A and B are shown apart, each in its own frame.
Chain A
Amino acid sequence: MSQQGTWADDVVENQPLITTNEDGTKTVITYRINEKGQKIKVTQIVKEIIVKESVNKEVAKRKQWAKFGEEKNAAPGPDYRTTQVGEEVHLRLGTAWKTAEKEAEEKKAEESMLSANTRAITCRYCKGQHFSSKCPFKDSLASLEPDPMDESSEAGAAALASPSAPGKYVPRHLRNGGISASGESSRERDDSSTLKIANLNEMVDEDMLRNQLLYPFGPLVRVNVVRNRETGRSRGLAFAQFASESSAQRALDALDGKGFHSLILQVGWSKPKKPQQQ
């Protein structure tokens, strides 16, 4: 259409044709072009209703007030800093509101108790909802069952076999066959050969530790100095992991209580040693 005439033609053509009917309604006829280029006639019958809302004059006037005091120059409309919408609260009116509320609460408590019961307590022998020790078939079934300690590792193994079994949470320490020692775990590293070196001079960095202090004792896996997250300054503490525990032990014996860059080192295991380390 725009190829044929000016935009003015367009406007004139798009003017709706309004006719007033006898019953008070109006018929509005408009034309428009759809995507296919076809001209479409739209006929609407409209009834106009005037809704009057009465507002107190004073109240209307007050709505136009300029803000003042601490709200001076603030944008119109509520400020989220001072005005928030709270959580839904209920007002249930009734003479027996107390008993009704109490009942609802009791029901809720009962339900949660019930669900907790079903989840938590399962008999190891007969799979009933009671403690294993209270099982009536304990004596007859106990001999058929393997040792409970073995069972837990078996359960772990089962979980490994079907790791994507839905709906059942398997604790992390049971996921790798339930026998994963701390060494195997990807998350938890082996700290058995790691030394904690405290009371370091602030100027000492990783390279200095490697090249000046720890190199005689054997190959190092990693060395890192604990630093302040923001400032990057050393906090006078470092961890050094040796390739073997024996070299770590030698370093510990040699360095604890010795001076390094004008401070007396305190060297110890990064974790307290268990008496029977494997």
Chain B
Amino acid sequence: MRPIMLKGHERSLTQVKYNKEGDLIFTVAKDKIASVWYSYNGERVGTYNGHQGTIWSIDVDSKSEFCLTGSADFSMKLWEVSTGRCLFTFDQDTSVRRVEFDPYDNRILAVTDKVMGFPGSIITYKINRDSPTQQDTTPLLKIDTKEGFEKVSVAGFSYLGKYIVAGHQDGTISKYDATTGALIGSVKAHEGLITDIQFSEDKTYFIISSKDKSASIYDVDNLKQLKRFEADAPMNSAAITPVKEFVVLGGGQEARDVTTTAANQGKFEARFYHKIFEDEIGRVKGHFGPLNYIAVHPSGSSYASGGEDGYVRVHTFEKSYYDFKYDVEVTAEAKAHAGEQ
């Protein structure tokens, strides 16, 4: 496959996301602009200009009407997707590391950094969709980092927007009620910083990646580990593929250590694992820096990776990708087929 390389950012990518239909790709980087692209040909449709610092995170609602960015300039901005107009700015005490819409597009979530004496919190707001330029700046919920927990690095809404699941710096994951903010449970999932959390299509389970060179799948209800994927480098992102039962992991040696080792030792590859069997089944080369984020097309036909090297690479899967099956799968299918007849 020949990837499309999107070079719209001057600095390393921080997040890459598809919209619900998968025709748009949203990218944010450490420069001050967010970009939106057509996924089928890599054409840049526009940029969202207005932030004063690194944009850490972006999310788009399910109607592709509004998008939300969280930045290191202590603010979170709501944009009109089709025109690039900034509709509203939510000011925060510290930089915003992660933003997300809830499944009904009614609420938004922000993870703020723990610096300058502020505890670091998960904050939710109600979104006024009818007159988007007038938003209520009083948070619905403000979950400060609790005693005994390290700071929150990532968070997201579970199915039905019922829970908020957060990943912490020390590898713990915790679950909160999304309406009351009460802590429901927590579990030590990894030994290092949780770098990414991405939910399955139905948001009943999620995959988390960690700096401890592994990734794992947990279910939302019981916070029980379902699968674990071991890698040989710190992982920055993990995504679940629809259609095929795979997961894609991205990462690599940290940017600050790259100069101390040979380039081919960097492990800057996207790794494909089988979701059920937990085996590594393939790698895709291309980036010349660690991969910071991986997003998979909602129909499972392509994936995009954003790297420390400033490039986004959009890969469309070939037929061999869909054809790949384990021997056990093939025999099981053959048996089922014979049973039908």
Contact = CB atoms under 8 A, between A and B. Distances in A.
Nearest to A83: B42
A89 to B, nearest CB: 5
Interface in B30-68: 33, 35, 37-38, 41-49, 63-64
A78 B24 contact: no
A98 B280 CA distance: 9
Interface in A54-70: 56, 58-59, 62-63, 65, 67-70
A11 B313 CA distance: 53
B43 A94 contact: no
Contact of A91 (B43, B49, B272, B277): B272
Interface string B254-282: 00000000000000000010000101111
A89 B284 contact: yes
A149 to B, nearest CB: 42
Nearest to B244: A93
B142 interface: no
Nearest to A101: B283
Interface stretch (B124-132, B187-195, B320-328): B320-328
B297 interface: no
B44 A91 contact: no
Interface in A68-102: 68-72, 74, 76-79, 81-95, 97-98
Nearest to B42: A83
A89 B282 contact: no
B106 interface: no
- Which of A58, A59, A88, A89 has the most chain B CB within a 10 Å cutoff? A89
A65 to B, nearest CB: 5
Given A56-B21, A69-B48, A88-B2, A82 B281 contact: no
Contact of B281 (A71, A81, A97): A97
Q: How large is the interface on A (under 10, 10 to 19, 20 to 34, 35 or more residues)?
A: 20 to 34
B16 to A, nearest CB: 15
A93 B5 contact: no
Given A83-B5, A86-B313, A62 B282 contact: no
Q: Is the interface of A mostly helix, strand, loop or mixed?
A: loop
B82 interface: yes
Contact of B324 (A63, A88, A93): A93
B281 A94 contact: yes
B70 interface: no
B263 to A, nearest CB: 16
B4 A59 contact: no
A74 B38 CA distance: 15
B333 interface: no
Interface in B281-317: 281-286, 313, 315, 317
Contacts of A98: 280
Contact of A93 (B24, B282, B285, B315): B282
B23 A70 contact: no
Contact of A63 (B38, B42, B49): B38
A72 B6 contact: no
Contact of B41 (A58, A68, A83, A95): A83
B1 interface: yes
Contact of B33 (A59, A70, A85, A90): A70
Contacts of A93: 272, 281-282, 320-321, 324
Contact of A84 (B4, B23, B44, B46): B4
A238 B215 CA distance: 68
A247 B229 CA distance: 81
Given A59-B21, A88-B1, A71 B42 contact: no
B83 interface: yes
A67 to B, nearest CB: 5
Given A69-B84, A78-B44, 17 more contacts: A58-B63, A62-B82, A65-B46, A70-B49, A76-B43, A83-B4, A83-B6, A86-B286, A87-B286, A88-B2, A91-B272, A91-B283, A91-B315, A93-B324, A95-B277, A97-B282, A97-B283
Interface of A: 56, 58-59, 62-63, 65, 67-72, 74, 76-79, 81-95, 97-98
Interface of B: 1-8, 21, 23-24, 33, 35, 37-38, 41-49, 63-64, 82-84, 272, 277, 279-286, 313, 315, 317-318, 320-321, 324, 326
